[in-house]
Amino acid sequence: MPTAGSPLGDYLRARRGATRPEDVGVQSHTRRRVPGLRRDEVARLAGISQEYYLRLEQGRDRTPSDQVLQALVRALRLDAAGAEHMARLTTAEPVDMAAAEAAVPTEAMAALLDTWPDTPAYIITSRHEVVLSNALARWVVPLGLEPGRSIPEVVFTYPEVRALPTWPALADRTARRLRFYGHPYDERLHAIGARLSALDPTFRRLWERHEVDPYTDGDVRPFVDGYGQVPLHHQTFVVPDTPGYLLCAYHAVPGSESAAALAHLTDRIRSGAAVR
């Protein structure tokens, strides 16, 4: 469940605790009882009063000015994704995500995916739960892209996924994306975070840091049965007029072994030799 503070306060507290004093030019003359920066140090770096910064962390002030936000970005050394995420937290409002998602018509999205038989593609909620996927996507990532599956649950609780050599990077990326795209007032998001934190110490450590990354594009290496690791490029697009749905697609470099593997899989699916 969400904390009694505020999304912005939770984020500031987490990032303050994860920022090493030496990385922001703060010298320690006394022994620190906990890692990270003190509140007064963040306030001084941002050029604001300690009392005002305390109000932000405690949720007593939830709408800082753009000037203050930019000062906090500099003080905490946030990257572009962190700055965007923090700004979004200041404007987030409670929402009934279940009702919003139930109102989304999926027929057109399903038809779109079916027009891309040569491209593994799928649509997920802001919690990274699979809404739709085409046949090729389900073959490329059979465990994680079945409709109804929770990608974070698959990544952190399936032994065969944890055994992958790329799992540490996959786990880090999954937690960061979930934080970036998840709605801060989504009760189901907080339930997923609480459940996985109780089950897995790696997830708990990553989740508590509040690090974010939209990962709009990048390289992935899924292990495809019969083909081994297949290097692919991944792209993510926000679906308009939805409560944070994401369209994700993989593609291979033309003429590469990965492109040949996808073409072979597509032929098998069309012929009925590969059904999933």
pLDDT digits (tens, 9 = 90+) for 214-264: 999 999 988 888 888 899 999 999 999 999 999 999 999 999 999 999 999
Residues 59 and 102 in one domain: no
Tell me the C-alpha to C-alpha distance, in Å, between residue 132 and each of 43, 107, 248, 250: 45, 10, 10, 15
Q: For residue 1, tell me if it sits in a domain.
A: no
Residues 177 and 118 in one domain: yes
Whether this model's pTM surpasses 0.85: yes
CATH code, 87: 1.10.260.40
> What mean pLDDT is predicted for residues 61-73?
96
Residues 57 and 37 in one domain: yes
Backbone angles phi, psi at 125, to 5 degrees: -80, 175
Among 91, 125, 146, give the residue marking a domain's end: 91
In three-state secondary structure terms, 79 is coil
Q: For residue 2, tell me if it sits in a domain.
A: no
Q: For the chain, how many structural domains are there in total?
A: 2
d(CA 216, CA 133): 18
Neighbours of 8 (CB within 10 A): 25
Q: Which two tokens stand for residue 17?
A: 């605790």
Residues 113 and 234 in one domain: yes
pLDDT in tens, 111-142: 999 999 999 999 999 999 999 999 999 999 98
What does the mean pLDDT of the chain come to?
93
Q: 265, exposed or middle or buried, with CB in 10 Å at 0-12, 13-18, 19+?
A: buried
d(CA 256, CA 192): 38
Residues 47 and 133 in one domain: no
Residues 72 and 105 in one domain: no
The dihedral built from the CA positions of residue 14, 15, 16 and 18, taken in this order, carries a sign that is positive
Among 91, 121, 145, give the residue marking a domain's end: 91
Q: For residue 124, tell me if it sits in a domain.
A: yes
Residues 240 and 103 in one domain: yes
Residues 130 and 265 in one domain: yes
pLDDT score for 3 = 45
CATH code, 236: 3.30.450.180
pLDDT score for 4 = 53
pLDDT score for 41 = 95
Q: For residue 81, tell me if it sits in a domain.
A: yes
Q: For residue 276, tell me if it sits in a domain.
A: no
Residues 32 and 138 in one domain: no
Among 91, 120, 150, give the residue marking a domain's end: 91
Residues 112 and 229 in one domain: yes
Q: Which domain holds residue 48?
A: 7-91
Residues 240 and 127 in one domain: yes
Residues 67 and 108 in one domain: no
Instruction: Say if CB 141 and CB 170 are below 8 A apart.
Output: no
Q: For residue 245, tell me if it sits in a domain.
A: yes
